[in-house]
Amino acid sequence: MNYIVFDLEWNQSPGGKRWSNSRLPFEIIEIGAVKLNEKKEIVDSFQRLIKPQVYNWIHDSIHEVIHMNYKDLQNGTPFPQAVTEFLEWCGEEYIFFTWGNQDVMELQRNMKYYGKLSMIPGPVTYYDVQKLFAIRYEENHERRALEFAADKMGIAKKMEFHRALGDAYYTACVLQKIEDEYILPNSSLDVYQNPKSKREEIHVSYPTYDKFVSREFYSREKAMKDREVTSTKCPLCHNPAKRKIRWFMNNSKVYYSISLCQEHGFVMGKIRLRKTENNMYYAIKTLTNVSDEEAEEIRQKREAHRAKKRSRKAEESAKQ
């Protein structure tokens, strides 16, 4: 099994959101990667500059960070060729490692734009080294910048930050210093290629929580009426937990609930509804054991939400 630590640099519409391509808001302009064996030894590297096809100039904010000119990319490799070469370089058996949770999604979105998405079956399981570093070294699991982690680990700065190959190299160096007991149980799941049917729905158990990814629904309301979406079980014993606070929407995207497991105490439920490019909806639910104090915080959120609704209704009635 090859460990593929990769990083992407991308561009966006230099004219702002108004001129952005909705199918490709972020166009990849560089792929950098480092290959490790199962002993976490670096054995190879990969780097390609990508010739842009969608945006004809580099956004000012991107240019400030990566110090790359548009002229540098004119002799680059077309993305379909570059990504094909990258995946061939990865080998037959590999798993991705990244710093953060966006690169795997953007890689797939760019591949879909060019009709190459079938080359990576989804949903994609990968390892987020930023998350692993937080679990291993940060008391409150705070996410840190890559350069912060490199400094904390005493990694010599041999390459430039904010370039794809350099960031992939430093991510690999951080990964080498994290013990397998913190890595293997804490994989991540990217659902850009989300489940479409009941049969494809995903149930995953992690050391501290359970995750469920639903099939697609025609509306948010349909999703929240589905029994599997709204069910609550204890992540430790997987027995049904009795609802104490019903699902309520704290904002436009997140629902919360509190349930009680007789053996392991309170269970917090959290549901995020995602909208697909085809205007369908799917749910990502996490169930986590929480303390009495954390359960009380959720109750207070519900009361604050109810108070806002009452205030809004009173204002509407006063206008009539």
Cα separation, 107 vs 80, in Å, equals 11
Query: For residue range 165-220, what is the model confidence (pLDDT) as tens digits?
Result: 999 999 999 999 999 999 999 999 999 999 999 999 999 999 889 999 999 999 99
Does the bond joining 235 to the residue before it have cis omega, within 30 degrees of 0?
Answer: no
8 Å CB contact between 128 and 96: no
Residue 239: strand, helix, or coil: coil
Statement: 195-312 belongs to CATH 3.30.460? no
**CATH code for residues 2-183:** 3.30.420.10
Task: State if pTM tops 0.85.
Answer: yes
Query: For residue range 73-82, what is the model confidence (pLDDT) as tens digits?
Result: 888 999 999 9
CA–CA distance from 183 to each of 97, 99, 176, 179, 187 (Å)?
Answer: 11, 13, 10, 7, 7
Domains 2-183 and 195-312 share a fold: no
Q: Where are the domains of the chain?
A: 2-183, 195-312
